[in-house]
Amino acid sequence: MKRVYCLYRVSSVGQVDHNDIPLQRIACTEYAKDKGWTILKEFYERGVSGYKISSDDRDAIQDLKEAAENKEFDILLVFMFDRLGRRDDETPFVVEWFAKHGIEVWSVKEGEQRFDSHVDKLMNYIRYWQASGESEKTSVRVRTRQIQMIQDGIYRGGFPPYGYRLEHIGRVNKKNQPVRDLVIDEDQAKVVRKVFELMVTHGYGTERIALWLNDHSVPTSKRADCWRSSSIRTIMRNPIYTGHLHLGNAVSNSAFEQYRIISDEDFLRAQEMMDQRGPNHMPDSDVSRRVDSAILLTGLVRCQKCGGRMYGSAAFKKKKDGHRHYWNQYRCETRLRKSDGCYGQWCYSATKIEGKVLEAVQILFRKVLASDANALLTLIKSRISQTSTESIKQAAKELAEARSRLSDAENRLLVCVATGNQEEIGALNAQLPILRSDAEEKERFYSQAIKKSDDESSLLTRRTQELQELRTWAVNFDLLSHEEQKLALAKMLHQITVGEGYSIEIEFRGLAKWIMEF
């Protein structure tokens, strides 16, 4: 009488709840009885995916292999072969492994899998290739349905994000069972708004925001004992606070106002600030890298001699009475590292530099307040149009030149082929891919310039918002906190170059630059 080990597997908790394993067990028991076999042991896998999880990570498969090597059974019986797995690059070889170790592999629905011929091996592979495809199609269907749910504003389940809680508000599932939906938790929503305010308005980083919340004893979610920068980043990056549900990179096209806590403007500004402060930030960032230092122009000051960045630091001098006199200064990083290329003045008083910069900023503010609002709007429109036109012309010129170089090379190649000039043919064949790549790149630049031109209305909106900000700062700049002043200056100023004798060149950015030239 043949000894039988059975394997029962279900992929999801739902299948466990619906008694799929007892159904498999009954079918295998009756099948073994009809064949006159004796079932010695049964292996159960509950909630184990045969597609996502490798056989090397499945305890039941490893236990069965060990038992096969010890000759403990003769037949491995399953309800269907896909219970052994659904991976086309792995499961066929698992089945073949058992056969090579003298174990017959049987399925209640499909019979025995043999390996007597090449056809048997091919059928074994095709079976699991088909099972793998079914799993992939199921995965696509599930993801598609989940994306449809977020587009319809339906919460998919799971632990609610900070700022929300789950409540029964009348919705039922396809089985007519009541399900819970997201609703805003006002107490936590106040914290979310404060988090965005600390970053967008005061320029705090995620670490500093976490410290602020902990210092003010703000309660966390039930899963955390204290606030950390990672939890702040999770909040700042989650589009649900603007009413947009998401699944990975897929975000709902429409905002659902019942979920909104933060305005779109604050959310987008927070994303810009985190991106520009990140490790891959652009050097032209309009966000102050640090707002918690006493230095006002962090990241904006550069050495006139070498062009290197100047950093802020504190210096002190000990007086006769034992007290220390402190002052802030800017130092050239190149000179500090004792690198070659900078032999100019390397240390400057922060008070003198910041005083001259603030004088220039006050001139900007006076121009803003003295200028007619309609005249400034006209200036903005004309500059946007002019910049867009110049960009398109320059991109079109570079594209034409790149295409001309490519065409000339292709024509020369035809001539060389006709004359049999092998040496130049080789050189041109090496050159053509580079020229084609250059032409494709110039074509992308041209398309981007056209796209920016078509998007003039959104750029006009942003510049108009900048004008409103400038007018607000012009009236209230002295009333702003130190952090708010640093953020404002980072938006207005592009670069400050300092040379010997405190010669200072100030370069404004964006709308501020236009107004200074107006």
What are the tens digits of pLDDT across the range 365-374? 998 888 877 7
Residue 63's pLDDT band (cuts 50, 70, 90): very high
Average pLDDT score over residue span 331-355:
79
Give me the count of residues in the chain: 518
Q: Quick one: average pLDDT of 256-274?
A: 88
Report the share of the chain in percent with pLDDT over 70. Answer: 87
Amino acid at 187: D
Helix (H) and strand (E) counts in the chain: 16, 15
pLDDT at 509: 86
Residue range 3-148 in CATH 1.10.357.10: no
pLDDT at 329 over 80: yes
In 3D, which of 244, 276, 246, 278 has the Cα closest to residue 259?
244
**Residue 322 above 80 pLDDT?**
no
- Residue in 183, 178, 180 with CA at minimum distance from that of residue 165: 183
Segment among 31-40, 175-184, 215-224, 417-426 with least mean pLDDT:
417-426
Asked if residue 48 lies in contact with residue 9, where contact means CB atoms within 8 angstroms, the answer is yes
- Give me the residue spans of the domains in the chain: 3-148, 164-169+179-277, 282-518
User: In the prediction, which pLDDT does 70 show?
Assistant: 92
Per residue in 464-484, pLDDT (tens digit) is 788 888 888 989 888 888 888
**Mean pLDDT score of the chain:** 82
CA distances from 355 to 218, 302, 344 (A): 39, 16, 22
Q: Which residues pair with 309 in a beta bridge?
A: 302
- The enclosing H or E element of 462 equals helix 456-476
472-497 as b/e, with b when 16 or more CB fall inside 10 Å? Answer: ebbeebeebeebbbbbbbbbbbebbb
Nearest-angstrom CA–CA distance, 449 and 32: 72
Average pLDDT over residues 226-240: 90
Strand partners, 63: none
Can you give the pLDDT at residue 92?
84
Strands 250-251 and 246-247: antiparallel
Tokens of 450: 């056209």
Cα–Cα distance measured from residue 485 to residue 491, given in angstroms and rounded to the nearest whole number: 10
Per-residue pLDDT, 195:
93
pLDDT at 16: 42
Give the mean pLDDT of 301-325: 75
- Cβ partners under 8 Å of residue 179, min gap 6: 157, 168, 171, 172, 173
Query: Two tokens at 321?
Result: 């009475």
Percent of residues, the chain, with pLDDT higher than 90: 19
- Output the six-digit token pair for 95: 């089945």
HEC sequence for 258-325 = HHCCCCHHHHHHHHHHHHHHCCCCCCCCCCCCCCCCCCCCCCCEEECCCCCEEEEEEEEEECCCCCEE
| Farthest CA pair distance, the chain | 105
Q: Per mean pLDDT, which range of 90-99, 123-132, 314-323, 503-512 is the poorest?
A: 314-323
The 10s digit of each residue's pLDDT in 75-91 is 999 988 888 887 877 87
Spatial strand order in the sheet of 324-332: 310-318, 324-332, 347-349
Name which residue leads in pLDDT, 450 or 192.
192
Mode of pairing for the β-strands spanning 324-332 and 347-349: antiparallel
Alpha-carbon distance 194 to 216, whole Å? Answer: 12
- Residue pair 242/254 in contact (Cβ under 8 Å)? The answer is no
**How large is the angle between the packed helices 456-476 and 422-454, nearest 10 degrees?**
60
Q: CATH number of the domain at 164-169+179-277, out of 3.30.390.50, 3.90.1750.20, 3.40.50.300, 3.40.1180.10?
A: 3.90.1750.20
Q: What's the angle, vertex CA 262, arms to CA 261 and CA 266, rounded to 5? A: 175
pLDDT at 356: 92
